[in-house]
Structure 1
Amino acid sequence: MDKVYVEGMEFYGYHGVFAEENKLGQRFKVDLSASLDLSEAGKTDNIDATINYADLYHICRDVVEGKPVKLVETLAETITAKVLETFPNVSECKVKVIKPDPPIPGHYQSVAIEMTRTRQ
């Protein structure tokens, strides 16, 4: 299956279990891939036969910069669901939500959740 990738997106959100995270906010990074048949787009050079990268970016931005949630898992689930709902030609969506510098003891570069959802 062909894939469209949008990687390295960065947003500022107010998600987390700790009250400080909800008050101060923090950066989140998102990588996304969407699986779909791109053969017609490749043969016809027609944008309507694919999906627009900007639309995928806006879905991720709206979720991460939107209503605060406690879990990074909730962000990933919401993004994959919105991509599958918005684009009927996408058969699978994989998203990785990265939380740089998490507020937990120890030395961490980041923590992340990667989630894959397939159209039923």
Structure 2
Amino acid sequence: MGYINLNNMAFHTYNGVFGEEKKLGQRLEIDAKLGYPIEQKVRHDDLSETVSYADVYETIRQFVTTNSFDLIETVANRLLDEILTTYPALTSVHLKVRKYAVPIAGIFDNVEIEVERQR
């Protein structure tokens, strides 16, 4: 099984439980690992034989910049649904959604949610 990976996509979004998060927004980073049988399907150096990662990027960008949820778990689950619905040729989708501006008194890089679904 082959994979198409889009790593460290960064978007300014308005997700979060607290009012300030929804008002000021914050950066989310997303990694997407898309299962696609590249070895069997891509034979002629033709974009029509694969899933365009440019299109997937645009789908992700559009989704996360136009929707607002309290939880990044919801962002991850709904985005997973959106990608699988939009790109039926994919055999699986694995997402990581990272949030850096977290209202926790502690020292850490980020909070990350990871979800995966296979057909």
TM-score, normalised relative to structure 1 = 0.93
**Cα offset for 1:101?**
3.0
Q: Match of 1:65? A: 65
**Cα offset for 1:75?**
0.9
Number of residue equivalences? 118
**Structure 2: tracts of 5 or more residues without a match:** none
Q: Match of 1:111? A: 111
Q: State whether residues 30 and 95 of structure 1, in contact with CA within 8 Å, keep that contact through their aligned partners in structure 2.
A: yes
**Cα offset for 1:58?**
1.1
CA distance in 1, matches of 2:71, 2:84: 21
CA distance in 2, matches of 1:117, 1:66: 23
Q: State whether residues 28 and 98 of structure 1, in contact with CA within 8 Å, keep that contact through their aligned partners in structure 2.
A: yes
CA distance in 1, matches of 2:103, 2:70: 13
**Cα offset for 1:61?**
0.9
Please tell me the root mean square deviation across aligned C-alpha atoms, in Å. 1.0
For residues 5-36 of structure 1, what are the alpha-carbon distances to aligned partners after superposition, in whole Å with 9 as ceiling and x for unaligned? 01110000010011110111000000001101
Percent of counterpart pairs with the same letter?
35
Runs of 4+ aligned residues of structure 1 deviating over 2 Å after TM superposition are: none
CA distance in 1, matches of 2:5, 2:31: 8
Q: Match of 1:86? A: 86
- 2:23 matches 1:10: no
Q: Secondary structure at the match of 2:95?
A: strand
